[in-house]
Amino acid sequence: MRQQQSDVMIVRISLPDEAVVRFQGILMGEDGLATMRGQLGGTGILELWSTWAQRQELDEWLHSLPAALEVRVLDRYAFEPGKSEGDEA
């Protein structure tokens, strides 16, 4: 039996460590767009948790950010309960 894809989307991004606090401040002004999680302390790799319904809005917002933040999208995938990054299917 095939499981339905999660409504939760995770977007992995990277940016310089010194830009993380500024990025977080800008994101906080976007009420309900995404929740930010630090993935690997001190690496500048973060996860943005949002919904697939907000994918276009989140993409547009990411592209509108100042170039000085150097935000790069690394990956995008559906949240799977009980599975963490690095688990092999």
Is the pLDDT at 74 greater than 80? The verdict is yes
Residue 64 lies in a domain: yes
Three-class SS of residue 7?
coil
Does 57 fall in a domain? yes
Residue 47 lies in a domain: yes
Is residue 5 domain-resident? no
Q: pLDDT-based confidence at 4, cuts 50/70/90?
A: low
Residue 5 reports pLDDT greater than 90: no
Give, in order, the Cα–Cα distances in Å from 50 to each of 2, 58, 65, 88, 89: 23, 8, 17, 23, 23
Domain housing 52? 18-78
Q: Which helix or strand (DSSP H or E) is residue 25 part of?
A: helix 20-28
Is the pLDDT reported for residue 47 higher than 50? yes
pLDDT at 1: 42
pLDDT at 78 over 80: yes
Domains of the chain: total: 1
**Burial track 7-36 (b if 16+ CB lie within 10 A, e otherwise):** eebbbbbebeeebbeebeeebeeeeebbee
pLDDT above 90 (res 72): yes
